[in-house]
Structure 1
Amino acid sequence: MTMNHQDTPRSQTILAALDIDGTLLPPGSMRVPRAVHHAVSRFLAAGHHVVLASGRSLIGVLPIARSLGLAGGWVVASNGAVTARIDQQALSGYVLEDVQNFDPGLVVQFARAEFPGVQIGAERVGWGYDVTRLFAPGELNGAQQVVAPDYLAERSTTRLVLRGVGVERLVGAVRAAGLTALQMESGWMDVTAPGLSKAVALEKVRANLGVEPARTVAIGDGENDLEMLRWATHAVAMGHASALVREVADEVTGTLDEHGAAVALDALHAGEGAMPW
């Protein structure tokens, strides 16, 4: 018999934390593959929780959450800097549950001194980014407003994006200053408040939902997913993930083209494989 959300004992509820880009859909895409949509729907219908945990800003995560039918669900954005709950009764369609800001002034000053041509973006939650120079379409979620570097440096933000050849060499210095720095790709670095990660935000969500710590799953493909994978009791790496990511995981599923995340969710729903419960 297939359980529904009304007869699934709370002690058996699973929280599945899902990365978006490279896990559910191609990077930058806004279209959820049918196989992923169906797998998420089956998982939710069984009474479990799906929490999107992404490096995208909130405005880039929300359309995916809505496409997946996560009404009333939780999302983690900006690599853990922003946590929100979907709420159709709210004017914005969501409620901010946790927002972690930091002062970007020192990073902006240092980055411009080391890389005079650096391109900088500072997130404005729910809207887009203040930028020193327009980013190419699809590189940032939401609107963009060009501002003077000094103006950008004086306003607190949840996420600072630095783009420029070699800018990843600043990761060590930014971390030494006490902030969280992630190299997302060559020439691209994200900076957030101290001590943040997807895992830190997800642990707060788990506690709020009342899910047992032992019944957590994470599926991801990138190095910004490492802490999330370590946090989960059962960690699943996508088949195309790097060796570093796959080594952290308890299981490796199919690639993005093979809809590996959908396969993993269906296996969880069916109780298949060597799950820890």
Structure 2
Amino acid sequence: MNLAPPPALVACDIDGTLLRTGNPASPGVRAAATAVRAAGHHIVLATGRSLVGALSVAQELELDDDIWIVASNGAVTAHVTGSGFEVITQHDLEAETAIRAALAASPGLRIAAEVVGVGYRVNIPFPDSEVNGTQNSVTGLEELWAEPTPRLALYGPSAYRAVPALRALGITAIPTRTDWVDVTPPGLSKATALEKVRTELGVEDDATVAVGDSENDLEMLLWASTGFAMGHAPVPVRAAADHVTGTLDDDGAATVLRSLLA
């Protein structure tokens, strides 16, 4: 099946799509990504991860030369070349307002404020398996918002309770699990950032493909001319997509990538 004439832009979520969190991508995904790039298509990593977390995956997949990354659910866009990376866009959050609202709704939360390309400022250290990059512990909450940040991560058993209060303020709050909420500025998504990347690359709007598995992929799947949900994605995500591919165990993302070569 030929989804789009070259060059196409294929936006790939990372966790739950290209790989299982904490594990490397499969040989099938790595091979398919290499083949798609060799065919002249553009792979854009579009993730809720911080930029530093996305960069490690780009390196693993050997996508670390002249590619684009949409990180932090659309709040950060970076261009990666062989000499490093350049942050092209960073939308910062009104962090004090968000933090105060979150703690009022769910006291005791661990909070991480992203430091782009480095790691996080944290009020309470996170397990190393939960965040990428360096963690710098602060001594007072005000240090969390003292410097600009595009994204907050809320972590704790009742983190989900903060979502209604944050959304009531117009802040983007996405519960990826009951104990984890990603918080970014209003009006942003992977899709808003991807549209700017598409324009920059000169890709036709009908030559866009996206694959994802979670709530933070909904806008991206609807933005793409052809959206694929992973087979294990929740029902609303599968309903938003044009097609459903295999699960992680089936190498569903590799199937989507290979379809660009047919």
* 1:131 counterpart letter in structure 2: V
Distance 2:110 2:168 in 1: 22
Any idea what SS the aligned residue of 1:206 has?
Answer: helix
In the alignment, is the contact (CA less than 8 A) between 2:106 and 2:161 conserved in 1? no
Is 1:65 aligned with 2:58?
yes
What does residue 16 of structure 1 align with?
Answer: 10
Distance 2:237 2:107 in 1: 33
How many aligned residue pairs are there? 257
Q: Give the TM-score normalised by structure 1.
A: 0.89
Distance 2:254 2:248 in 1: 10
Distance 2:105 2:33 in 1: 45
In the alignment, is the contact (CA less than 8 A) between 1:253 and 1:261 conserved in 2? yes
Gaps of 5+ in 2: none
Distance 2:46 2:91 in 1: 15
Choose which of 86, 99, 114 in structure 2 pairs with 1:108: 99
Q: How does 1:219-234 map to 2 (within 5 A)?
A: 219-234=211-226
Any idea what SS the aligned residue of 1:156 has?
Answer: coil
In the alignment, is the contact (CA less than 8 A) between 1:218 and 1:236 conserved in 2? yes
What does residue 86 of structure 1 align with?
Answer: 80
Distance 1:80 1:123 in 2: 13
In the alignment, is the contact (CA less than 8 A) between 1:85 and 1:95 conserved in 2? yes
Provide the identity percentage.
Answer: 49
CA apart distance, 1:196:
0.7
Distance 1:105 1:196 in 2: 18
In the alignment, is the contact (CA less than 8 A) between 1:76 and 1:83 conserved in 2? yes
CA apart distance, 1:11:
6.5
Choose which of 71, 76, 90 in structure 1 pairs with 2:70: 76
Query: Deviations for 1:62-120, whole angstroms, at most 9, x for unmatched residues?
Result: 1211222221110111111111011223xxx1011111112210121222233331111
Which one has more relative contact order, counting CA pairs under 8 Å at least 6 apart?
Answer: 2
Is 1:139 aligned with 2:133?
no
In the alignment, is the contact (CA less than 8 A) between 1:163 and 1:188 conserved in 2? yes
Choose which of 39, 48, 72 in structure 1 pairs with 2:41: 48
CA RMSD of aligned residues (A): 1.4
Q: Give the TM-score normalised by structure 2.
A: 0.94
CA apart distance, 1:13:
1.2
Distance 2:216 2:105 in 1: 25
Gaps of 5+ in 1: 1-9, 271-277
What does residue 233 of structure 2 align with?
Answer: 241
Runs of 4+ off more than 6 Å: none
In the alignment, is the contact (CA less than 8 A) between 2:102 and 2:165 conserved in 1? no
Is 1:120 aligned with 2:108?
no
What does residue 142 of structure 2 align with?
Answer: 150
Any idea what SS the aligned residue of 1:183 has?
Answer: strand
Any idea what SS the aligned residue of 2:173 has?
Answer: strand
Is 1:180 aligned with 2:172?
yes
